[in-house]
Structure 1
Amino acid sequence: MSESQNRATAAAILPLVGGPANVTSVAHCMTRLRLSLRDRSLVQDGALKALPDVLGVVEDETYQIVLGPGKVARVTPEFEALVAAEGPAARTVTAQELARQGEELKRRRKAKNATPFKLLLRRVADIFVPLIPALIGCGVIAGVNGLLTNLGWLPSVTPALAATASGFMALIAVFVGFNTAKEFGGTPILGGAVAAVIVFPGVADVSAFGEKLAPGQGGVLGALGAAVLAVYVERWCRTRVPEAVDVLLTPTLTVLVSGLVTVFGLMYVAGEVSAGIGTAANWLLDNTGAFAGLVLGGLFLPLVMLGLHQALIPIHATLIEQQGYTALLPILAMAGAGQVGCAIAVYQRLRRNTSIRATIKSALPAGFLGVGEPLIYGVSLPLGRPFVTACVGGAAGGAFVGFFSMLGDKVGSTAIGPSGWALFPLLDGNRGLGTECAIYGGGLLVGYAVGFLATHFFGFSGQMPAELNTDTAEAAGAAEPGPASSASPPSSPATAAD
């Protein structure tokens, strides 16, 4: 998409979300433009969904417009520029508008208080999501370097590639600390400074709980805990240190207190927790691989639907730190394969519904590359049963990959973020690249096949095929799910966060 097209997309979206005066903040993740709005009632959902570049919308704490990977990163700066250029227009605030705003604030507050655990998981996810591009880039470079090393090619270049791929992972604790402090309302650089203690080589001279510490001990979990502690120490100092010496004492006390607690406590505790995660994951796959894969692959789509899948990022990062790869991600990726198989079956069953078939055709390429939200919110979830049969396909693919883990053939990923076919360059394990690609590819084929068959034979009930399989404009408008429209029942709102 050219720069002018990106600007045109942003210009088309802005008036449909209430104009610049209604936008209070703009951000984006891997696939979505996330907006904080003053008045939700000003948004024209139907018109937004009708825009060619909009794959769907999701209402959560922020209003999320699904644009797809790559595209959202290019449209967001154009949208921000338009909001800044036009500025907040002056307008009269009516009593009705104030009432609506009050009701909206009440609703948001009620939702926030009702799901504290869910919001905590999202906050943790927001710490790690900004790190995903670097994890992907370094993971791909590591994969290329491993291939060149195995083939004996470019021996003078591979050490440089190894350094390039490993540098970020060596300092990931610092970035986690920085983002954690930022997310929890502290000074980001202080969070990074405290977390840097964990990777400092000199901690090898320190003993805690009767044992010598190792640089990096505790990893990302230790960095997260250290930065959260730093935020609370900083807040305590801000309320008690006199203003005249605040600039000197507050950062000093924050780094000193948090750093010492990290060295003499958090590093050891977080190290034990991290080791426990690695041991548990290995035991699970070694002893119950097929069953574990069945459960993980089958439940991952609901986690995506609820926006809780990002909470697994710290676990993946911990496994990558310990073992060089996460064996959980290829299993979880099978959920996307089940979703693709499901969508193909829907496409085949509803031959006359040009609306749904057009949605599937536009969303399938992203689905093959592991971006599942367009198919989830545009096809399977609004239809109901196909979402369940997609999960069945994911469970079958997960069981396939898990079964080989039980046989000792582990397949993992050197980075997090990509899925589907995009995961092939990041595959790693203990049996060689050929075996790993064969097992992972076999799992995808099983997921596609079972997702297709389960949806074809069990995905439609009663009069559902007759009602949906029509090419009339009226029926298509009534039946077309429309990306993310009524993506879930009111009792369990769809709040995926990518």
Structure 2
Amino acid sequence: MPTSDAYPSTAAALLPLVGGAANITSAAHCMTRLRLGLADPSLVDEEGVRAVPGVLGVVTDGQTYQVVLGPGAVARVTAELRTMLADAAAHAEAGPGPVAVPAGGGAPGTAPPPPPAPGAAPPADTAGELAAVGAGLRAARARRNATPLKAALRRIADVFVPLIPALIGCGVLAGLNGLLVNAGWLPGLTPALTAVASGFMALIAVFVGYNTAAVFGGTPVLGGAVAAVVVHPGVAKVTAFGVTLAPGQGGVLGAMAAALLAVAVERWCRGRVPDTLDVLLTPTLTVLVAGLGTLYGLMWAAGAVSSAIGHAADWLLVTTGPLAGLILGGLFLPLVMLGLHQALIPLHTTLIEQQGYTVLLPLLAMAGAGQVGAAVAVYVRLRHDTSVRRTIRSALPAGLLGVGEPLIYGVSLPLGRPFLTACAGGAAGGAFVGFFAMLGDRVGATAIGPSGWALFPLLAGNRGPLPTAAVYAGGLLTGYAIGFLATYAGFRGEAPGTEGADGPTGSEEATGAQGTTGPTESEAPA
């Protein structure tokens, strides 16, 4: 376990490597990743970031730079980094202090450069050329990632990722309360637990609207105010397209659409309303126009889309259960690797609002089971590679609890083929759960976030707690088994860069101990 001094050291090491405080426009985190908004991504020293102790990998996605640090550590490093950014901002606002000017001239506060050593070649040109090449490669990768689809998915993730801690906490309490109600225990406490667990979900539209406006460049509180219309009881007296609206109709999709409309109206007003009237007219017009647009258009449309999502999920599992589970379980690890899995949060949230649980999350959770099975197989195969085995031992507990990034970036992805066999294990586990869903045994989760063993307290279904838990456990065991067997049979038993299974290894590079994130040599996935 890292010491308390490790987190400030990690933050201090990362700050200059990502271009300094002036280059960071935002700093947030999800369960495992530090998510940095950067003014100029080309200023990042990516190899330096990978080499920082504690960094498990990096994911670049346009303007968002994600540093994988693992659960627990990421929250502490983010807090330290935010403190450093606040100190840097305060120092910049205060202005520089007095500086000394060297007697020999030169820039204030700097020492004159040392004379070059006799016969030494000047390094400036070589360093400049290497820097230019590196900047060009980073710019090319940024252009590849800057597609409209990826930009939209990234923004959607930015809206919902900050909500995950509340979704987890309230989901756990809802599951605990359900167990108490079913068992008939503590009847005096369960109404209070119901209120505590349900309060956030009742007002989640407001939080979604607030975050949407913040992410898309509007005033956050105006986005929240317009989204609050979606859940207000008074909408039950409004009729749109011949249909009487219901509070909450459209759910988080309606709230996001309402906030986006509010952002558009606010921007239109900012460019046309005189400065002297801006503080009065712009908020009023934003709430009025966006609020009426929400009531007489967006809530109806978003309600139709939300219903379609629920019906599609039901049809998918009832009609093509094993196939749907195989595809979803097999493809989820690549989504996690690319950082695109957060874009599924609106679907989960919509299903939870409609049905009380999301049937997609248990299927996707099987990817983590395949990853665990693959990691255990690598551990068995690489008997003499102490570095790989040490990495697996440290990352495996998090993997069992459904946090897959440490195993992805530390073990399976650098080795290449184990990443593919882990996907095979996830596909098998997903097919198992999907098969029972087709038979009528639905397995869902009441909250978003945890998976693996940590999902058991959040399970819900239509057959009761024990059958639901049994189906989910069977899926996990299937994922473990297929992930292990496929990896054990297909992995040659040596890390990239080795001379043989019993010979010296390049394990520091193979395990991602220096932050390696890409597959190497012949083990690279196709």
Confirm or deny a common fold (TM above 0.5). yes
* 1:368 alignment partner AA: L
CA distance in 1, matches of 2:495, 2:376: 20
**Over residues 156-214 of structure 1, what are the superposed CA-to-partner deviations in whole Å (9 max), with x where a residue is unaligned?**
10000001111111111111111101110000111111111010101101111111110
Q: Is the 8 A contact 1:198 1:217 kept in 2?
A: yes
The Cα of 1:126 is off from its aligned counterpart by 1.0
RMSD, aligned α-carbons: 3.0
**Over residues 116-165 of structure 1, what are the superposed CA-to-partner deviations in whole Å (9 max), with x where a residue is unaligned?**
11111111111111111000000000000000011111001000000111
The Cα of 1:74 is off from its aligned counterpart by 1.6
Q: Structure 1 residue aligned with 2:483, among 442, 446, 451?
A: 451
The Cα of 1:26 is off from its aligned counterpart by 2.9
Determine if the alignment matches structure 1 residue 292 to structure 2 residue 324.
yes
Determine if the alignment matches structure 1 residue 224 to structure 2 residue 226.
no
- Name the counterpart of 1:110: 143
- Name the counterpart of 1:265: 297
CA distance in 2, matches of 1:378, 1:432: 38
- Name the counterpart of 1:426: 458
CA distance in 1, matches of 2:500, 2:238: 68
Determine if the alignment matches structure 1 residue 178 to structure 2 residue 178.
no
Q: Is the 8 A contact 2:42 2:135 kept in 1?
A: no
CA distance in 2, matches of 1:370, 1:295: 19
**Over residues 77-105 of structure 1, what are the superposed CA-to-partner deviations in whole Å (9 max), with x where a residue is unaligned?**
2222234446579999x996997898589
- Name the counterpart of 2:67: 65
Q: Is the 8 A contact 1:331 1:401 kept in 2?
A: yes
Determine if the alignment matches structure 1 residue 278 to structure 2 residue 278.
no
Matches within 5 A, 1:459-498: 459-460=491-492, 467=499, 469-470=501-502, 472=504, 475-477=506-508, 479-482=510-513, 484-487=515-518
CA distance in 1, matches of 2:276, 2:148: 38
Determine if the alignment matches structure 1 residue 410 to structure 2 residue 442.
yes
CA distance in 2, matches of 1:452, 1:102: 40
The Cα of 1:287 is off from its aligned counterpart by 1.5
SS in 2 for 1:370: coil
The Cα of 1:21 is off from its aligned counterpart by 6.0
- Name the counterpart of 1:54: 55
* 1:329 alignment partner AA: L
- Name the counterpart of 1:250: 282
What stretches of structure 2 of length at least 5 have no aligned partner? Answer: 97-107, 111-123
CA distance in 1, matches of 2:330, 2:481: 15
* 1:424 alignment partner AA: F
CA distance in 1, matches of 2:517, 2:205: 40
Q: Is the 8 A contact 1:16 1:48 kept in 2?
A: no
Identity among equivalent positions (%) equals 65
TM-score by length of 1: 0.90
* 2:55 alignment partner AA: V
CA distance in 2, matches of 1:306, 1:344: 23
The Cα of 1:476 is off from its aligned counterpart by 2.9
- Name the counterpart of 1:391: 423
1:365/1:468 CA distance change after superposition, 3 Å:
farther
Matches within 5 A, 1:65-464: 65-85=67-87, 107=140, 110-111=143-144, 113=146, 115-460=147-492
CA distance in 2, matches of 1:468, 1:141: 51
Q: Is the 8 A contact 1:468 1:476 kept in 2?
A: no
The Cα of 1:76 is off from its aligned counterpart by 1.6
SS in 2 for 1:333: helix
Whichever of the two has the greater Rg, that structure is: 2
Q: Is the 8 A contact 1:284 1:292 kept in 2?
A: yes
* 1:375 alignment partner AA: L
CA distance in 1, matches of 2:303, 2:500: 54
Q: Structure 2 residue aligned with 1:43, among 42, 45, 67?
A: 45
The Cα of 1:369 is off from its aligned counterpart by 0.8
CA distance in 1, matches of 2:420, 2:15: 35
What stretches of structure 1 of length at least 5 have no aligned partner? Answer: none
Q: Is the 8 A contact 2:236 2:247 kept in 1?
A: yes
